[in-house]
Structure 1
Amino acid sequence: MIISSRTIKILEYVSRKGETTIRDIGENLLLSERIVRYEIDNINFIVSNEKTASYIINKRGRLHMNNTPKMLGIIEDLKEVEKVSKHEREDYIFIKLLFEGKINLRRLTEELDVSRTTVKKDLASLEMKKTGIEIVNNSLCFPVNDEFEKRKLLIDTLDEYIDEYLNGIGNNIVIDVLKKMFSKEEQLLIEKFLKNISEHNLKANKLYKTFYMYLIITIQRIRTNNLILKNENANFLKTTEEYQKINKEIILLEKNFEILFTENEKLQIADFLTGLFSYSYNTSIFDVWIKINIFIKEIIKNVGGKLQINLEDDVWLLEGLMNHIKPAIYRIRNNINLKSMEVYYEEAREIYPRLFTVIKEELKALEKLINIEFPENELLLFLIHFQAALERNKNNGEIKNVLLVCIGGFGTTNILAYKLQRAYELNEIKIISYLEIDKSYRNIDAVITTADLNINVKENISVPVIKVSPFLTEKDTAILNEHGFSRKQNTYDISEIVKQLNESASIKNKEKFRKELQNIFSVSIRGDEAEKKDLFYFLKEENIIFEKKKLEKWEDAVKEGFKPLEKGKYVDESYYKSIIELINNFGSYMVVSEGLAIPHAENMNNVHKSGISLLYLKHPVIFPGNKKVNLLFCLSAVDKKDHVQSLEDIIRLEEEFSFRKKMAETNSKEEITEILDKYKRFRR
């Protein structure tokens, strides 16, 4: 048999207790009774070979060691030959990946005393077991930049080790990682902080371990500048006593660990403290939260059924109710009354008597599950959510008027507007700057953005806010369909039809003919027979860069990409710096597809000529959100409309010509130029 850390744990536990039971061992070491019996049989098999009278004796269900001094010596000998189990090895590798982002294969083989092949098999196994991750070139990649998801994965992985770590027992490679991060004195500081922020004995709560794990993970992530960027319940959390206590006591950790907790980090800690079952990363809590989610969906279905309207596909309603439920439960359990809503209560009952009655009836099952009763003022908030959903769905949920939020000033927004107009039956697409988003607009069914909007801004918008890629991927299309966007059945290029007909017949009035065709096919006119300034008009050969050396940071790639435009007096230095600031503030929305970024910004008197530079990186850089990029089209535009055609060309270059795939085979600027020339011929 393999001597694992589990074997050693059981031996040490029995030696400490003197007398115990299989059930006691299982409960304290978090093992099944079957595994405990298996390990004890194996232990007795091993010590029998030592030809001593040393055994773990099982007498009427009670376990104790015979010849304890000899057994203690055997334990020490076994520690010397202890082998790391595959499970512990994978956990160790995964924790290293999560904390460090990348691993060194050679160093790992030395630390684990295994071959490179074994480590590679472990990496492949991890990729299969851990949903939503990808391991590329020994680096951990996530499809989205969600720091909180990474911390949840760390909590899940560390869960089975935290008891031994807190109690100072057990010894394996995973626990060693934690011991190296935090001294005993630092552990006590964290415990003191947890005691200071709560009036209750947190240690008696089953959430304590999860809370403790989250704090040690958070401290380590802040040390490496991996931060929580937003919290969906920020406004609610700031009003709680828990948040005020955390804000006051956090200085204890900041001073001793020499780090700074941002507003969002403090809000997330408050999120733990304000409820005991609304956190999806704790197993027992998760079960209840799943049930709440199911109940909410059932309530939506039943309310819709009684009102004879389908509300099940309204994702905005589900999200709104799920975000509402946590603050509602907190208010009820802390006797916080929404007095400001009292003036509207009777009015709402008079205007929507049936809806109010239906909601009140359907909420009874949920009240029973969580053992609370929703007061009338809280019921009114449920009514508001449902009333908004009824308004959204009165025309079968179809979205006709869209507000498109422009982040960078031009370019990617025009791509998106063009694709939306071609793909969906829309009456109007209104483009505004993100600086204008706080203004009110009538007759808008949805807001679409290519970057995350500030949570405070989103809370003031009564229609769905949908984040998509400028290239409108299949995933984006599915999201839009869920929100009620109606796809066009057919699209036609009117200008191409006019052009082809004109070659075979004489058209006296082309413009009039185009408009008549538009009316017949019920589509917008696409194309323009006038010559357009396309990608190749703006992309000069001297502005193409092939970069062999490895750049350390994505900011370096942006700076390198704009060097030709800065040198050619197209832009000032402040222009590309504003792009870096935009990405830091709004995320990597300029990464428009896998490996491809289109850095650009609004002209703030720092753009003197419209142009494009191309940077190809032999070694990709990682943009925020773990987005790998090795191809950058860097844009400068005096006027927002200058690059409408260029952007469409970039889309087609990738979609129709597999540009990035061809670029992977290049080794020089000249080869890149050849590929672009081939595309020009291909396009014709």
Structure 2
Amino acid sequence: MKSRILKILEFLVERKGESSFKEISEYLKVNERTVRYDIEKLNEILKSKNIETIENIGKGKLKIQTYEKILFFLEKESLEEISGEIREIVILSKILFLGEINIANLMEDFDLSRSSVKLILKNLKVILEAYNLYLELNPRKGLILTGNEESIRRLQLKILNEYSHGPVNKTLGKEYIYGYIKEYHKNIDGDVIDKYIKIILKNLDKIISDEAYIILKNYIFIMVDRITRNYIIKNTKNNENFYNNTREYYYLKENRKILENYFKIKINTHELIKLTDYFLGSNSYSLTNDFYKNWIEIEILVKEIIKNFGEYTSPVIENDEHLIDGLVNHIKPAIYRIKNRIEFPNSIYEEFYESYENIYIFTKKSLKPMEKYLNMEISNDEIAYIGLHFKGALDRINFNKKEVKNILIICGSGYGTSKLLAQQIKEYYNVNILGTIPYNQFENYKNKNIDLIITTLPEGNLKTSIPVVTIGVILNHKTIGILDKYNLPKYNKKISLTELLEVIEKSTEIKNKKNLLKDIEELFGNILLKDFENKVYNLSDFLDKEGIYLNLEGMSWEESVRTAGEILLKRGSIKKEYISEMINKINIFGPYMVTDDKLALPHSKNDNTVKKTDMVLLTFKENIIFPENTPVKTILAFSSVDGIEHLNALSQFMDLINNYRFLEKIKSGLDSKKIIDLIKKFEFLTKLGKES
């Protein structure tokens, strides 16, 4: 049976046995003639199994009276009759989870000829080799799987993520395959793994998306299974000092006895580091992590991506704090997913592309720097999820928005997706959104006064007396029509914050704009369109000649950072505690603040220790040795009041280094005045280039 026919069956069952030729052709992106042909073939198969066929009830409409039998058929019939593609996935799973395969056994299990089995294995070898895994002949066992342990687990995880149970990714094909895969882990108690994960998340005060939760649970399934079979990670390429000093590592280590005692295994340091890596890579619903490895490249990368998108749409987008913050927190785990080849279980690509083709195209073009940084192509789904952030930003610029029911949003696709869905709903309806949560947090909201639950999960997943409406992550005319049936009050046109400020400034002098903005937002609430443009600061706004100290010598790395901090303190930019915080961050996380150009960028977050955003530049005659024997000759230390105000200036500084040989020019003997002149010349030419 063709894979396309399987999709038709799934499509009909999901719609309780009713559809049309047109709907199916649009879903499969084929013409109606092809659909008619496929349904004829499908009816022949159903008839041979004494199952009611698909009936053409006129005007292109289709119906199956007892569609439940189709589900039974899909679950019970042989793989050969369902899909060759599914058969290959089951055989691949056998190879991955058992570690060996026997051609004779495959011939018997699947009623295949030797040549057919060899053809399947030839196809699967291509997949395995992409992960540097190989099938080698063993005279006693047949074909055995060889390769790096982390690579084996990565491909196992890909299969489990795609086909395991979860509220966001159930389809008939996946259910069918999972029936086979779960046999390999039938002796591993998932409730124990759930207990372990939830204790860690509670200790971290962290809420993660359902997709991230499934990934973590699946990886722990794999880890326990592999250790039980004596396949153990004995070394890692990761920065051990960085991981050992994270809160994630601490709590994973403190609670590992939960797994060790129940499953009778030992989890070594390298296994803990790999598990920590997955927890750090999980997409958080709540807390942000300011100290990811390669943080500086990521924050500058986000600025470049937003700048590129602004060139296709509106430059105003570059000043959107919500966009910057959202993308920084989205792209950190996205880079982790891409590098580790972790795919979204729940695809939105087709729906997003169909609804917002231009945004998708502009996003794809804007992400070229990220592809260059990763040296990897970004998948359609990752592009679509990032595109959602840009869609939200454009809505904030252009949207005319619409008083109050309590709404709970349950979304399995992640923090950014949930927040953007909430934003879209607020743009149309005057509602009080109690929270945007993953499915695994629903129990915590059952006692709340909820009028309506809006969810992206498939129908039937939520067992509650509260009205539930299922929609997609993209709010289009169809989903708005569905929500309108629940009589949600709509907004009148929103008030523009920019226009309101212009009216106020005509009649009075504003002495404290920050406090005024806060009061306005509290007064107008949801009916206020926050289109106010924040000032974008240049490098010369923070770094001046009094903040430049050249050719210093005779210092340890702690003394050099302390010297930079004392300059910031003298300039009235920080409190004294900030200096110790900078040094502590380096002690904890290692030389993650050092770039390949022997440049260190010491800083810390603002724990009520920053008075204003500022930067100071220090150079040294000889290398200063930072932790892990890392040489440094230049320090740019900075403070930031909000974690955003400094970004454009920092991006300009890195641009000067990477493209204009700035550090070499400093070494050539420039004094502080000439350095500032050089910076201002760069800023002028950059602005000129934008305006031309």
State the TM-score bracket (shorter-chain normalisation). 0.3 to 0.5
User: TM-score with structure 2 length normalisation?
Assistant: 0.38
Whose radius of gyration is greater, 1 or 2? 1
User: TM-score with structure 1 length normalisation?
Assistant: 0.39
